[in-house]
Amino acid sequence: MTTRLDAPQKVTGRATYGADHQFPGMVYGYVVLSTIAHGEIGAVDTGAAMSVPGVLGVYSPLDPLNLRTANSPLFGETWVPMQDKEVTYYGQPIGFVVAETFEQARDAAALVEISYRERPALTSLEEGLAAAEEAPAARDGSPSTLEVLEDGVESFEDALAASQVVVEATYRTATQNHAAMEPHSAVAVWENGELTVYSGNQGSHLQVMELASALELDQEAVRAVNPFVGGAFGGKGRTSAPAFLAAAASIALGRPVKAALTREQVFTATAGRAATVQKMTLGAEPDGTLVALRHDSWCSTDTNRSFVEPTSHGTSREWYATRNLALTQKMVPLNIPPTTFMRAPGEAPGSFALESAMDELAVALDMDPIELRLRNNSTAPPGKDLQWSSKHLDECFRVGADRFGWADRSPDGRTDGDWLVGLGTATAMFPALRFPATVGVTLLADETAEVATSGADPGTGLLTVLSLVGGESLDIAPERITPKLGDSVLPPGGLSGGSTATASAGTAIMIAAAKVIDDLLAAASAPGAPFDGEEVTYADGRVHADGRSMTYGEVLRALGRPSISANGSSAPGEELTKHSFSSFGAQFCEVRVHKWTREARVSRMLGVFDAGRVINEKTARSQLMGGMIWGVSAALHEGLEIEANGRLANGDFAGYLLPVNADIPEVDVRFVEYPDTLHNAVGAKGLGEIGTVGMAAAVANAVYNATGVRVRHIPITIEDLLD
């Protein structure tokens, strides 16, 4: 196991994040937020703010910066602040104050007086359900309403009527915030007609595209730098408001501008996870065979309908073999902050509903929950002919059940002193994806090599993966590799998201390494070269021919060349027409509920995962442990409370609960390792997000096993467990 390469810099504080950059003459920006949920800005009085010493500019929709709506090839239209006078949610960025110091900008921002023409606001998902809209088609073109019926069945209702055991229930999940340690921030420098932005993000090339579009600049005139990212989880996939505003202000003022959101501002001035309502209907034979599965889902979204949380399509569409399947996905536009991708978007909240319902079906059938899941183990998504490229979920459950002591589980839990103890389980699945990526590999005359791509490492360990896969592909020790990430001047590495980075970048590394080795051999055997006219091969970092060999550094030095480079590009291809791809896992959880206080505490967890080849077990375990902790957090802690006026009642770290060390006593992770070379040449499948999936349901199922109380919403509170 390899220790992550950036660990020493991070733990000693030497890692330089976006907001850590300092430049001569730098000034500071502070974002002004709306104090209504719906309406129009009538007037902005900046007189008092402009009188504050050090203030250089106060910007608003009535006195705007030079910004336009942005577009990117991956996300399409991206929201940019201060484009018009419309206010659609409480805490929307509507102004920007720039001053010589942060304190001056902050104090002046408090003096900006804004009057509104207020309109009625809809902020409650429950109240908005009646006005729900059909969600747009999924990215793969799938319609929001989808039905798969077996031959001879005319309707889903007929299939349900033919089911001997039926379970039906409605589940709810709360709005969440990414809560990354690094707040969204940016330092922008405009110099000699070129813009450089230092900002934590999940893909520097994508940020360049959005900044160039919003500022009407050529992409060649924009550079994005993000070597270190303090957490992202989907919340830094798009360019943030501070980055847009700092960049435009730097151009307007001709000075470097730093802008960072306060912790409270992060909760509204960025996007989060949608709240959901999900109705599950399961019909089965007495032996547990699924006859019919219906998953109707509603999710909150902002009035721009910026994102749909694909709960039903992200889970029930693929997880179980069922003869009849019906899915609907609807959205509820509200006057709330925008929603977006958040670790395991769709699968995390969707699995809470599906896996809770499966547990309820197991109870109704008086069947072991693992047996029920394995009995309905799918070989391919229902209605599709493309079988899984590899699937070892049954082994995950067998290994996990044995290690966790599942055989000793009682259907009614057990008692340990004043604690009621229960065990729960759930399936975890997350699609195995790849994004287009390009990686550059350079052999250097000093016997080292560089592996470089613009992709990001928001804590996932990608930097270390570059060195490991690069060393393997070049047949040299990984210690000789210098990995480079997080700069748009490097080859375009795509987005670090969707649990795609290792498969995407790793495949591109292998292609680039093969190219650079071919180029090295051609140069080594060229006329006048050390192996002139000879048949040469490459192994162990050396060029071989007729019983003699030279290191590649020796060859380059003999040729008078400091280096030799090649780029490799990889993207999903014809494999998508041959197989379905996913990572799989089995989640186990033990929960203890106090008899008298009804406090629920997770006492141990185990996740067993089938995610192809594991490149670095240490960072892989860390990613999965983090995901599982996220699942516990969703089950017992996290949930934003939106007041009727649109204000977040707990939009800070004092009121928005997150687990601490005392909440997570024991986390165990095991791998069922089968490299999947049908998916990609590296054999690795994504594991950054699957750790979150299913864990909240496993917690809720364990709570039921301990107490007999079925809680169908998260987070679960003490009040939910009172008799």
- Token readout for 15 is 């890692």
Neighbours of 295 (CB within 10 A): 27
Q: Mark 461-490 as b/e (b = at least 16 C-beta within 10 Å).
A: bbbbbbbbbbbbbbebebebbbbbbbbbeb
Instruction: Give the residue from 476, 406, 390 showing the smallest Cα distance to 684.
Output: 390
Which residue of the set 133, 168, 689, 719 is catalytic?
A: 689
d(CA 502, CA 388): 20
Task: Name the E strands within 631-712.
Answer: 667-671
Task: Say how many CA atoms lie within 13 Å of 499 toward its Cβ.
Answer: 30
C-alpha distances in angstroms, 590 versus 354, 404, 630?
Answer: 20, 9, 16
| Torsion over CA: 512, 518, 524, 527 (sign) | negative
441 vs 345: CA distance, rounded Å: 33
CA distance 582 to 324: 22
- CA 492 remoteness from chain centre: 19
- How far apart CA 275 and CA 630 sit, in angstroms, is 16
Label the pairing between strands 276-284 and 290-302: antiparallel
Closest CA to 567 of 479, 674, 460, 437: 437
Cα→Cα distances 543→292, 427, 515, 526, Å: 61, 49, 15, 13
Decide: helix, strand or coil at residue 82.
coil
User: In which order are the strands placed within the sheet that holds 600-610?
Assistant: 414-416, 419-431, 582-594, 600-610, 667-671
Active site residue 689: yes
Residues 6+ apart with CB under 8 A from 299: 135, 274, 275, 276, 277, 308, 309, 311, 329, 330, 331, 332, 339
Going from the C-alpha of 510 to that of each of 423, 448, 568, the distances in angstroms are 43, 17, 8
**Helical segments of 241-289, H only:** 241-253, 263-269
**Which residues are catalytically annotated?**
689
